[in-house]
Chains A and B, each alone.
Chain A
Amino acid sequence: MQNFQGVGVSPGRIIGSVRQMPKPVSEPPSGDRLAADVSPEDAVAGLKAAAQAVHDELKGRADTASGDGKAVLEATALMAKDTMLLKSASKLINAGSSAERAIWEAGASVSEMLHNLGGYMAERATDVLDVRARIVAELRGVPAPGIPSSDTPFILVAEDLAPADTATLNPAVVQALVTSGGGPQSHTAIIARSLGLPAVVAAHGVDDIADGTEVFVDGAAGFVAVSPTDEHRAAATAWAETSATLAEFDGNGTTADGHLVPLLANVGGAKDAVAAAALGAQGVGLFRTEFCFLERDTEPSVDEQAAAYKAVFDAFPGKKVVLRTLDAGADKPLPFLTDATEPNPALGVRGYRTDFTTPGVLERQLEAIARAASESEADVWVMAPMISTAAEAGRFASLCAAAGIQTPGVMVEVPSAALTAATVLREVGFASLGTNDLTQYAMAADRQLGPLAELNTPWQPAVLRLVQLTVEGAEQESSGREGAAKPVGVCGEAAADPALAVVLTGLGVTTLSMTARSLAAVGTVLKTVTLEQARELATLALSAPSATEARDWVRAKLPVLEELGL
C-alpha cells in the first residue's frame, strides 16, 4: 500500500478512481520542419482533420452545457475550424513548416491580434491559445489539456489548478481534488472549498499515480492512500452519512454557552449571495466587489456598479453586508487600475493603494455603494483592502463620510495594520482580518508556491499573534471612551477551518466569514465548545512552537472533528 501525505484543505473522505490532469501542451520547436516523407497536402489534410476533431469534441460539450458556459464553448468550437486560422496555418505548411508548428504560430498571431484590440476581444485571445493547444495535442495523439471530460466520476489529480479551470470543473463528476503543488491558500483550495469537494494539496508524488487507480482521500487529514483498506471504506461510508447532516446550518453561530459569533459568507456577486442566504449565512462578511468586474478592462459606470451591489444587498434584507472596495492587483489584475509590469505585484500598488495612482475610481465606487445602500434594506458596511497605516484609514473614513457611508472599516492584511490596530481603529468603525494575505505577508511566503505551503498556513503562531494584537488594539482603543470595543472579524480562509474558527473565537474575534459551504461545519463544531474552552485552545495554539503543533494540539482537544471527519 502506498500513501501520500499532503495538506488537507477541504474536508471529506471518499474513495474513487484517479484521473490525471494532462500536462500542458509544449511548444513545437521553432523552425520545426515538415518531415521529408509527408507532402504539404497531406499535412494540411491532417491539420484539418485534427481541427475538425477538436471542433466536434467542443461542440459535443457545448450541447450538454448551459448558460454562459455553453456560449463560450460554442464560440471556442467554431474557432477550432476557423478558416482564417487554418488558412494562415496552411500557408506556413506550404512554406515547409510542420503542421504542429504552423498551427502554433497561426494561433499566436491571431491571439495577438485579438489581444491588441482590447476589451471583449482581448478576453477571447486565451480561447484561441486553448484551441491551438487542443489541436496540437490532437496532432500528437496525446490527451487534450485541461480537466478531462468524462461521464463517470473521478478524483482529479493535478499539479495545481488555475482559476480558469473552475469554469470547466463539473462537481457532479469530479469527486475530489488532489494536487502535488499548491498550498493551503492556492486556487485549488479555494475552488475545492467553494464547491464542497474534499481536497488535499502539496502531496508530493501523486503525479505518478496511474489513471484508473482506486484511492482513498481524506481532505481533513491531508491523506491519500492507494489500494484503500476496509477501514478506509468504512470511513468513506461514514462520511457520506455525516456530510448530509453537515450540509445544513441553522443560521445561529454560537458557542455551547451562548456566546454569539455570527457566521457570515464571503461572496463575489449576486449569485453567490443568493446561494449563501439559502445556506443560512447570517450576513455577508466579505463582498469581493472586484469579482463583479474581473473581465472588464474599463471602469464600470456608477450605475452599473450600483446595480451589481444592490443585487447582493437585496439577498440580505435587514442583515449585515460588509463590502470591500475594489481589491485589484497581484493575482487579480484589473487593467483600468493596475500596472501589469510591476516586478513585485504582491508588494505593489494593489488594494486601497490603487487610489494613489488612479484617483477617482474609489470615490466613484463609494458613490455607487452609497446609492445602492440607500435603495436596499441591508445594513451596509464598507472596508478598504490593504490598509497599512492609520493615516490611510483616516483618509478612507473621510471619503466614506463624504459619500454618505455610515460604517467605514479596514481590512487587516498588512502586518503593520495589526501592530498598530489601536490607532488604525480610532479612525474607522471596524476591522476585518484577511488571513490569506496576512499570512503571506507575516511569513514572507507567496501564497501560490507549493514549496512554501508549510509556512503559508494561518496556524502559524505568528499569524495567530497578529490576530490577537488586532483584537487587543480594538480593546485598547475603546478604553477611555464610552461604548464597546469596535468589532474585529475574520474573513480569510482561516475562518472556514472549524478548528481554527474555535481558536479565532477564543482570541476574541467577533464574526467569522467564510465560503458558504463551510458554514454548517463551523457552526456545528463551535456549538460544542464554551467560550472559556475556546480561550484555552487559543492560548494553547499561541504557545505552540510551530504551525503543525498548533494545529495538532488544538485538534487533539476537539475530538468532535475526528468523529465528523472534519
Chain B
Amino acid sequence: MVPPHSSSGATSASAYATDALAAEDIDAYLASHREKGLLRFITCGSVDDGKSTLIGRLLYDSRMIFEDQLASLESDSRRHGTQGAELDFALLVDGLSAEREQGITIDVAYRFFSTEKRKFIVADTPGHEQYTRNMVTGASTADAAVILVDARKGILTQTRRHSYIAHLLGIRNIVLAVNKMDLVGYDQATFDAICADYAAFAGKIGIDAFTAIPISGFRGDNIASAPSPQTPWYSGPSLISHLEHVDIGTSSLQDEPFRMPVQWVNRPDLDFRGFAGQISAGTIRAGDEVRIVPSGRTTRIERIVTFGGDLEEAVAGQSVTLVLADEVDCSRGDVIASAGDPPESADQFDASIVWLSDEPLMPGRGYWLKLGTQTITASVQQPKYSINVNTLDRLAATTFELNEIGVAELQCERPLTFSPYAENRALGGFILIDKLTNATVGAGMINFALRRAQNVHWQALDIDRETRALAKGQKPQVLWFTGLSGSGKSTIANLVEKKLHAAGKHTFLLDGDNVRHGLNRDLGFTEADRIENIRRVGEVTRLMTDAGLIVLTAFISPFRAERDLVRAMLPEGEFCEVFVDTPLEEAERRDAKGLYAKARSGKLKNFTGIDSPYERPENAEIMIDTMNISPDEAAELIAARVLGIWSPQL
C-alpha cells in the first residue's frame, strides 16, 4: 500500500529531503545541522479537520516514520482507520488506546521533525471543548499555531475558540491552514471567502496578522513546496517554508532588561555560592550591576559559571549559575534583575484564568500559586466575568467551571515579583494548585497589578504594630477556636477572655453572633459564603492584632483551607489554632440551640457535620478533648499559654 503523494509530485523533492547530503558527506551534514534553530508549534482545529493527518503527513514526508511503524500503521488503518484502504495518518499520533478506539485526540501529543533550517516540536492538541485544558497546555509553550479549517465547512465555532485560546496564551504567529482543498476542487473563491471570514473575526480578538495557506494534508498540496499545480492562483509560501522562516522573537527577548528567577542555591562548600536558574529575559555579562528582587539589594555579577567554563555573557533561554560579588541575601523565588530596570512586585492582580479542574473555583479560598520559582498562597476573588469563547460574550460569573476562561482579581498573601504576561511569559504565567488534592486546578496570565507593593513603598507609619503592642505590654495574637456547632467553642473562649482580662490583657472576642448580625449580614451559608465569612473575619482579626489586641474567635470554620488562609495573613507565630474536639454524637446530644434537630429534619441546609463536611485540623497548636476536660480546665490551660506560663509538657 502506497500513501498518496502530492499530485504535484513535489513532496518527494521536498525542502526536507536531506538524504542526499547525509549519504554523501555525513560530517558536512552534521555541521550544517548543528546550528539549526528550534520552533515549537501547535496544531488545532475542529474534529475531523484533519490535524492528525497533517502531522502524519509532515512526519511521513520528513522521513520520521519508519518501516516498522508503517507496518503497524497499515494494520491499524485496517482496524480503526477512517480512510478506507488508504493509510490513516491520524493513527500515528493518537497514541492512547482510548483515542484510537474512539478516533479522537484526548491529550496533547508531542511530535518531532526537522528540515534543513529548523527542528520542529509539534504539539497536536485536541479539538473537543471538554479537552480545552489540554489545548491550553500545548499552547503555553508554542511559538506558533497552525489552525486548521475544513475548506468545506469554513470557520466554525471551534475555529474561533482555538484562535481565541492561542491568542490568549500569547501566540503571535497564527497560520490559518485551509485544509481539504482537494475536496472543494482547489477552488480559489472558497479559499478567499474563508480568509475574509477569518480576518473579520481575528480582528475582533486582537489578532492583527495571520498567514493563510490552502493545503491538503491528505494529498500533500502546499505542505512542502508551493504553489501546488492544483493551486496556481496561490502565491504564498508552503506551510513548511513559512514555519521555517517565521520570526519567533528570541533575539528581541535578549534585548529586554535582564531577569533570572533563582531556582536553586548551589553551595557545594564554604567557598562557593552560586545562584542557578534559567534566564527569562535579557543578556548578562560579568561585571553587570544587578538587583535582587524583592529585597532591592544591589550587587555585581562576578562570574557566570557553567560546566564548560565561565562565560563572558549569557542570554535569555540559557540555564546558568551566577556568582555575585557581595554576600547578599538571595534564595529560591527571588529574581536577579538588571539594577536599573527591575521587575515590579505586587500582591493584587487582574488576571486571565483558565480553569482546569472538575472542582469549580472557590472564590476566596487559598490556593498555591506558582509563578516562575515562587510558590505562595493566593486567592481568586469572585470573577469579573467569564468568556463564552464561542461567541466572545462576557458573562457574569460567580465561579469558574472546568474549561472556563475568564478574568478575576487575585490576592496574594505576600508580594509576587512579576511581569505582565504580554511582556514575559516566564514571569507572567502562573498555575494554581489545590492545597488538599495537590491537583493543578487553574492556569493564569497576569494582565496588570492592581496596586504596586514594591515601587510605592508602604507609608512607614510612625506608630507601628510593635509600638502599639508594647504600649499594651502584650504580644498580639489570635486564638482561633474551631470545632463543630455545640462543641463548646464560645463557652471556652468566653472563659479564656475573662481570665486574660483579669490578668490585665487587652482582648476582643469575635463570634458568629456579633459578626453575622453586622459585618457579614449579607452572607448566607453556601460554601462560597462561608469562605467569604471566614476571610472577612480573618481581615478583621489582622486589623485588631495590628492594633495590638489579643483576639479570640469562635467560628465552626470547617474548612482547613480557610483556616490556613487566615494563618497565612498573620505574622509567623501569631495564629494559634484551638481545636475544640467534641465528637458529633456528643455535640448533637447537647444540641443547646436545637440546631441539630432542625438539620436532621431537613429544615436547616448545609449544616456542618450533617450535610456539610468538617475537616479536622491536622496541626492545631492546641487540642481540647472536651470528653476528658471541663471547659474551665481548658480555659485555664489556654490562658496560661497566652500569659507565657504554660509549657507544652503540661
A is bound by B: no
Task: Identify the A interface with B (CB < 8 A).
Answer: none
